[in-house]
Structure 1
Amino acid sequence: MSAQVRSYVQTAATLCEQGISLTIPCYQRPYVWPSSDVDDLLEQIILASERDADDQPAQAHYFFGTVLTSEVIPGSTSDAAIVYELIDGQQRMTTLMVLALALCSLTPSSPLRSLVVLGNAPRLTFNIREEVQSRLSAWAGLTADIEPDEKEVSNPYLIHLSAARKVACDRFKRLQAKGGEQALERVGDYLFNHVTWVNNVMPAGMDLNKLFATLNTSGLQLEQTDILKARLMKRIKQNRATYEGIWQACEDMGNYFEKNLRDVFAGTHWGALRFNDLADHSFDHFTLERPADGYPKGRTISEIRSMKVKGEAVEVPREKDEARYQSVVSFGLLLMHAFRIYRHTQDRRDIGSRLNDSNLNECFSGFIETATAAQAKEFMECLWNVRFQFDRWVVKWVRLGEEDERTLRLSTINNRSKGNGPDWRTVTQDTSDLSQLQSMRYLTGERSAQYWLTPFLGRLVDSPDMTEHQVLALLEQIDNQLSLTEMTQKEASYRLLSSDTAEPVPIATTVAYLKKPNGTSFEHYWFQKLEYILWRERSTFNWLDLEKLHLYRITSKNSVEHVHPQNEEFRRTLPDDLLHGFGNLVLLSPGENSLYSNLAVLKKQAAFRAKPKYDSLKLAHMFHVLGKDDNWGQEQIDKHAKAMLLLIEAHYDR
């Protein structure tokens, strides 16, 4: 048998046509994808399946990534012709199966039915994980689906899997409510035929220990951004080293811009500089005669392919400390926002591509072919300006001290000259209105696009001396416009670079929508927007606990909870218009949702109040309205809903 890696481009249709099944070996960790990532992936696939505003065809393929497998012998009872054991990529392939299972629960006739089942068993199997296999079989309709018990809900091998399926089901229900059965059929067909991955099949006898060491220590791979950089730099002859330095300082999204500048432009005299001097590139301060030191490149898949079986030794570099900071967008996405801003300064039309890393080089293709050296330099200087404003005013994921998890935070700036280097920034401990608004926008928009960043950063580049109060007002105006416009988010965001309006519909239209009993089909944005409004107006409420409020953050939530449960433990019921109305619903994380489950409302209130911080400010108001009463009925639900809708109207009418 060949000692080389065999590579195949595959889709769900390929697996079905060739009788391929996938198995996850016992040494693999549990499924751990957070529900927010599942939601993001599904949103990208839905968008890729759509025609855009110009009635262009859907994206031909959505590249799902690369998986590594080894071929194993099918079991005697298997209906599979080929069985691949997943070495790397089990999280993605499991997510694909979960999406298919969720869609099949709404449209059993979908072609995805043939993906999730092979013969009389799930196509994806988990070795020695009987509880997982049992749950997959039930979701596929092969066995009876029973309510999971308390022990099963907390099972580490099931908790994220169940949350992922619920998030996918909820999103498909909202898609169905908006676009009907045709929308589900479109996405189902796209998932089946157009979501594509590369399967690299390892040769028999491959030393897996060595392969894992290679995968885990291979460093940075060649990215689309590297290709774009090479093409841009071909246009620049004079001062090329300086512009390569600008690119490198902008490229590292794992630290703040001024720190990157210090590393790249090591000869800069920092003593006379203030923070605001970094807003524009200056050859007086930031010049290189030769290229700055680059980043080490790791082992590519081509190099892994050429590895001899049980042969080549792998050097394991010293493990590095985990980064303290993490950007909310990739460098590729920041480049696309910067390019839109640059085109606007040149009075050019918006780019044709959707904002997504996979479209980066397509986005720049026309510019690269015709750009002069001056235009290439102008774009690089625009990129500098955008990156400065991005780090100045956009939240980052930050880990403070000994905290295990990062949180979205802004920083404060001391603009005085610092003498020895760029040490102007202090990450804030407190939560500001601006950081909460950005968290809301980041967590509810298209994660692969973040269209709000184009007008936000573009207006900041145009007016670099804004105060925080002015920046907050700017972002509130952008957010309000984007939330009410009937334009696409892409079209509206480009218009907002130069205009204060994107032709919004009246807020009364949204209020009328929120008065309907839409249940889990409600857009999650409006729950999170209400959280921001409640936070913003917090000083006017006397029902909030200040200690709990101090710890409150707007976080990723994608599970709609009925406060009065659909199947309440004492079998008390509500009319459907109340049960599924906005006044009886709250947006929580799947874990929080599971905790409350079908408990009676008074028990949920007690559990909520026992927590050290708020899950939701909307929920805090609901339980404030409930008070000591044991009845959560029409009077209480209407009182809560009316107060919340008045807050939303007032925010938009200011």
Structure 2
Amino acid sequence: MTLLLPSNSIIIFHPHQAGHSEMNTPVSRVETRVQKISDMCAENALLEIPCYQRPYVWPARDVEKILQDIRQAMERGQKQYFIGTLITASHGHKGGHHFGYELIDGQQRMTTLFLIALAYSALEPDSALAQFARRPGDASDIRLNFAIREQVQDLLRSWLNGVLPPALSIEDPYVKCLVTGLDAASAFLTAQKERGGLEAFGNYLFNCVQWVNNIVPPGTDLNQLFTALNTNGVQLEASDILKARLLEMVPARQRMSYDAIWQACENMDVFFEDNLRQVFPDADWQDYNYHALKKYKAAKFKIDESNPISTPALGIQDILAIQAVQDGSTRLAPTTGQEAHNYRAVRSIITFPELLLHALLIYICEKPCKSDATKAEDILRIHPDRLNESFDPFLKDLNAQDAQGFIECLWTTRHQFDQWVMKRIPDADNNLYCVPITPEHEEDKKSKISRTMPGRDGTPVGYTALTQLQSVRYCTGEHAMQYWLTPFLGRLCKNDIEDVGQVTKLLKTIDNQLSCAQDQKKASFDLLSGTHYSEIQEAEIVITDMMKRQYPRISHYWFQKLEYILWNNAERGPFPTYLEKDKFKAYRITSKNSVEHIFPQNPTFSNDIHKDILDGFGNLALINPSENSTYSNRIIIEKKEMFLEKPKYDSLKLAHMFFTIRNKPYSDLGEKDIIQHKNEMEYFIRQYYGIIA
């Protein structure tokens, strides 16, 4: 949370003044500093997590996202990357080993930085960034101190020193996300090391990642301050500011309806039609199925201004004037009672700011507005962390028609997103996805809106070629902006496509073209606008070049794409002999970031394999880091036996390779097997791209 006052204007009162006339006289002001990791190390400062703080709760995907965002900032040449604002209290004296900051607000971000430094220290123990994980004056202890949580302290200390951690339940709320967060950071940094960019990335983290530290004065009642922050303060989201700027241009008599559209779109973790039912309770829902909701119809979706569920639209001055808002008061209310079972929680693969940016691109392409005021080159620089800045060219001289038109476009974009884009199901395996409605079933078109969630056995609904191909894109693209979504949603918004086969074919075309693009961002816009494809090369050239590359210069995308091609071939039939049906049924395309050498790089017994072949596509597979460490440097025969004993496949590419060599003695294995496998995989890829029949 962030106080809704400038950081250098926060006024703190001492608790002993309560009840006295001088209560309204400020004692002192907060000291504000811009800091970075290098400053913390130079100060020998500890980080204290007080007992009143909740557990660390960032999921692995948020750890991955901040790492990706930091890397993108580094690659763009940004001199600083800000992670937000902290509120702390200082303890001890500068220069002493016991000087530290008690984290009142911001412990999630700082704990994440600590976990990143901890993961980095395992790869580069003598680096400057690794020192951030270590306690000043005691390199065997950790810089982060959890008050009264010795079990967490012991766990982190064991990780730092590379010893067996204490026996703790993975479901312990104080442990669970620390484990997954460290795993995510380790996987990301390992991949960075494989690309040869770990040192530069570590230096950027150490010197350029910054935050604003608001240090409250001595004597402040920290428990009281923390409670006040959590019960009365709420961060003003960038999307709230954007909504206010747009609604200012909407005629007053229609403002509440367009505010309701915005509310229905912004809650990404509930299905769109559930949101619509809540913000438009007076609509005749008996007349609608999901396919009839593609476009906003003003005559059918009206707001009763006397209805308490409807939230009045606020102008930008109203929003900026708010300094204490009850949490959730400007958001959709939670569902209760009889209809609660109809509101199913899901997890979106993108955030609402990201959806807004996709909708902006779609609207600009479909309805060019304000002549040259909004240019393609301006739109291409969009980024969800700079939402309002990204919208500035569009908002310049904004008129009512464009404001309403964009919000209506947002409706359609969100509708098509829920119709065709996979979502995570919280109660199921984290790797399972569903397309909420599969309109291949005729009864879905005729009936009222209904969603079929996974069965009790965890089987996902809509587990199809469409979701598998989306998984390839999602797992190998930038989390900050899934560029494939822009042309995909744009085409769906423009055309009436209701057949899952046609939608899958559309995504296949977009994916194939983007896979041959030199610049994903530019190619995405070209595919959306349909103007020209200057950034897209011939598939023949791209595939030939990729097959000549060696580790680590082969993009993870091509390993995942091959997994999809092999899966799709087996799904369509005939079913290949090298696969077992039960293991194939359990197989999912999921996020993987560790490249395994099938024939080991440093074998116990030499195979006399040339390095170019050993590091080439035919001898590589993409798997999870844990699986990679299990295979370690074992000979290929041992890896094959371990692979075949597993209940499901790590990789379909590995399954194909191990089946090919299943009956060969170890002494006969070598370069010819790698070359044969490479040629077979290249054939499948070229066949999929239509290069060969």
TM category (shorter chain) comes to 0.7 to 0.9
2:442 matches 1:442 = no
Residue number in structure 1 paired with 2:406: 379
Q: 486, 490, 494: which is aligned to 2:525?
A: 494
Q: 3-state DSSP class of the match of 1:554?
A: coil
CA shift, 1:504, in A, is: 2.3
2:47 to 6, 14, 22: 22
Q: Give the aligned residue type for 2:358.
A: H
Deviation string 1:620-645 (CA, Å, 9 cap, x unpaired) is 21221231435353233222222112
Structure 1 range deviating more: 494-503 or 119-128: 119-128
Corresponding position of 1:334: 355
**Alignment partner, residue 678 of structure 2:** 641
| Uncovered stretches (5+) of structure 1, i.e. residues with no partner | 52-57, 138-145, 177-182, 305-317
Worse-superposed segment, 156-165 or 391-400: 156-165
For the 8 Å contact 2:539–2:689, the answer to whether it is kept is yes
- Tell me the residue number matched to 2:310: 293
**Inter-CA distance 108–198: structure 2 relative to 1 (3 Å threshold):** same
1:626 and 2:661 correspond: yes
Q: Does the 8 A contact of 1:39 with 1:168 survive in 2?
A: no
TM-aligned CA distance change 1:72 to 1:45, over 3 Å: same
Q: In 2, distance between residues paired with 1:405 and 1:551?
A: 14
Please state whether the residue corresponding to 1:198 is helix, strand or coil: strand
In 2 relative to 1, CA 395–212 (structure 1 residues): closer, same or farther, beyond 3 Å? farther
Deviations 1:288-319 (CA, angstroms, capped at 9, x unpaired): 24285349x9xx99769xxxxxxxxxxxxx9x
Partner of 1:457: 489
Aligned to 1:136: 160
The match for 1:325 among 330, 336, 346 is 346
**1:613 offset after TM fit, Å?**
2.0
Aligned to 1:82: 99
2:264 is the counterpart of 1:264: no
Number of matched residues? 609
1:91-490 counterparts in 2 under 5 A? 92-97=109-114, 99=116, 112=129, 121=139, 124-125=143-144, 129=153, 132-133=156-157, 135-136=159-160, 161=182, 164-174=185-195, 176=197, 185=200, 187-188=201-202, 190-201=204-215, 221-237=235-251, 238-290=253-305, 292-294=309-311, 324-347=345-368, 349-350=375-376, 351-352=378-379, 354-399=381-426, 403=428, 405=430, 407-411=432-436, 412-413=438-439, 414-416=443-445, 418=447, 422-423=449-450, 429-486=461-518, 488-490=519-521
SS at match of 1:326: coil
Q: 1:273 to 1:24 in 2, by over 3 A?
A: closer
TM (norm. structure 1) is 0.80
- SS of 1:429's equivalent in the other structure is coil
* C-alpha distance in 2 between matches for 1:467 and 1:502: 31
Deviation, structure 1 residue 526: 1.4
Q: Distance in 2 between matches of 1:79 and 1:513?
A: 57
Give how far 1:537 is off.
Answer: 1.0
Deviates more, 1:87-96 or 1:205-214: 205-214
Q: Deviations over 1:122-159 (max 9, x none)?
A: 8734565456446536xxxxxxxx7x679999997778
Match of 2:83 among 61, 64, 69: 64
Counterpart CA distance in 1 for 2:658 and 2:166 is 28
Shift of 1:344: 1.0
User: What pairs with 1:432-581 in structure 2 (closer than 5 Å)?
Assistant: 432-486=464-518, 488-499=519-530, 501=533, 503-516=535-548, 518-538=550-570, 539-540=573-574, 541-566=576-601, 570=604, 575=609, 576-581=611-616
Q: Does 1:40 align with 2:57?
A: no
Match of 1:73 in 2: 92
Distance 1:285 1:37, change over 3 A: same
Give, in angstroms, the shift of residue 571 of structure 1.
5.7
Matches of 2:276 and 2:418, distance apart in 1: 13
Per-residue deviation, 1:601: 3.2
CA deviation after TM superposition for structure 1 residue 221, in Å? 3.7
Q: Percent identity?
A: 40
Q: Is the 8 A contact 1:337 1:453 kept in 2?
A: yes
Could you say which residue in structure 1 is the equivalent of 2:618? 583
- Within 1, Cα distance between the matches of 2:56 and 2:614? 33
Indicate conservation of the 8 Å contact 1:262/1:422, yes or no. Answer: no
**Which of the pair has the greater relative contact order for Cα pairs under 8 Å at 6+ separation?**
1
* 1:374 Cα deviation from its structure 2 partner: 1.3
The AA in structure 1 aligned to 2:401 is: A
1:477-521 deviation digits (Å, cap 9, x = unpaired): 1111112112x2221111101328454223344444444563345
Residues 442/91 of structure 1: CA separation in 2 closer, same or farther (3 Å cut)? same
Deviations 1:538-561 (A, max 9, x none): 124221112222222111111222
CA distance in 2, matches of 1:374, 1:458: 20
Query: Residue type of the partner of 1:647?
Result: F
Letter in structure 2 aligned against 1:93: M
Whole-Å separation in 1 of the counterparts to 2:31 and 2:523? 45
Distance of 1:508 and 1:99 partners within structure 2:
40
1:353/1:359 contact within 8 Å kept: no
The more displaced of 203-212 and 630-639 is 203-212
- Are the counterparts in 1 of residues 383 and 390 from structure 2 also a CA contact under 8 Å? no
Aligned twin of 1:143: none
Following TM superposition, by how much is the alpha carbon of 1:447 offset from its aligned partner in structure 2, in angstroms?
A: 0.4
Question: Structure 2, unaligned stretches of length 5 or more?
Answer: 1-11, 15-28, 315-320, 326-335, 369-373, 455-459
Once residues 133 and 16 of structure 1 are traced to their aligned partners in structure 2, the CA distance between those partners, rounded to angstroms, is 18
Give the alignment's Cα RMSD to 1 decimal: 4.2
CA deviations over 1:25-77 (Å, ceiling 9, x no partner): 799899886665544332222222234xxxxxx445433244454433379xx
Q: What CA distance in whole angstroms lies between the structure 2 residues aligned with 1:244 and 1:33?
A: 30
Give the TM-score of the pair, scaled to structure 2: 0.76
- Kindly state the Cα deviation for residue 471 of structure 1 after the two structures are TM-superposed: 1.1
